[in-house]
Amino acid sequence: DDTFYLLETHFQEMIKKTSMYSHPLIHHLMDPEAHKEIRENYDDKQVVTEILARCFTPTLITTTAWEGFHFVGHEIRITEAMDCYGAVVWPSALVLCYFLETNAKQYNMIDKNVIEIGAGTGLVSIVASLLGAHVTATDLPELLGNLQYNISRNTKMKSKHLPQVKELSWGVDLDKNFPRSSNNFDYILAADVVYAHPFLEELLVTFDHLCKETTIILWVMKFRLEKENKFVGRFKELFDLEEISSFPSLDIKLYKAMKKNRRRHGSAKAISSQLSL
């Protein structure tokens, strides 16, 4: 009887183990791809935690509300305009600032000509300036006052080159305000610019106009709607696009892009005509 009992117990244990290891979750966890996914999710949360830790709120209440950030060894104080959509620091800007700081050797900003489109509060432009770049921060006319204020207070006597602030409405007077002959930008920076969906074609025209053959675009985008995916598809028609980093917990991706070879993809004039249709 004891022998039979032991055999039956052993047999039941085997059934338990067999059923356990045949469970889909177990197969998923034993899959090397699943291990990679778990590791990537862990890495994502670790990096996102580090990025968000760069923000701080003032301990004292002042007459002017501001938000604080730590980048490039400096305390950066940003004043937001809550009545204006473009004058708020969004997570994409933090991702781009963190990338510029932590990849300063590979993407060296020192003495480089850099333009930021849709600069908003100016945080990304400030970080690029503190890293040594010649920065031109651009946005719509109604945002320039707050943008200039933030850039001046955070770069004066701290940056190697004093940043410029210029108006740039996508697709408007580009030849007049930013003539191709004088466009000599090493980098174009853009954080969360794909939100004004009626103006995405104008945004594409602006990217194309500001780029020369060697210009590197560093572009961070939060995916909200299907139109973001469609814009990426349109963007790939003109630019070679590479995804550098992804932050699933924030629905944010960081891209590097450069113009496609014009000899293979038609003249700039023809492409601009195509975009304006």
What is the SS3 string spanning 138-160? EECHHHHHHHHHHHHHHHCCCCC
Is residue 232 within 8 A of residue 241, CB to CB? The reply is yes
Print pLDDT tens along the chain (277 aa). 555 455 555 555 554 444 444 445 445 444 555 545 555 565 788 888 888 888 877 666 555 678 899 999 999 999 987 656 667 788 899 999 999 999 999 999 999 999 999 999 999 999 999 999 999 999 999 999 999 999 999 999 999 999 999 999 999 999 999 999 889 999 999 998 887 667 889 999 999 999 999 999 999 998 876 777 788 888 999 999 999 999 988 889 999 999 997 544 444 444 444 444 4
Compute the chain's Rg from CA coordinates. Answer: 25
Pairs from 194-203 (Cβ < 8 Å, separation ≥ 24): 194/221, 194/227, 194/228, 194/231, 195/85, 195/224, 197/225, 197/227, 199/170, 199/171, 200/227, 200/231, 200/234, 201/171, 201/234, 201/275, 201/276, 202/170, 202/171, 202/172, 203/117, 203/170, 203/171, 203/231
pTM: 0.77
Instruction: Tell me the C-alpha distance between 67 and 26, whole Å.
Output: 46
pLDDT of residue 18: 47
pLDDT of residue 218: 98
Is residue 209 within 8 A of residue 178, CB to CB? The reply is yes
Is residue 221 within 8 A of residue 228, CB to CB? The reply is yes
pLDDT of residue 21: 44
pLDDT of residue 199: 83
Non-local (6+) Cβ contacts of 127 within 8 A are 71, 72, 76, 97, 100, 101
pLDDT of residue 164: 97
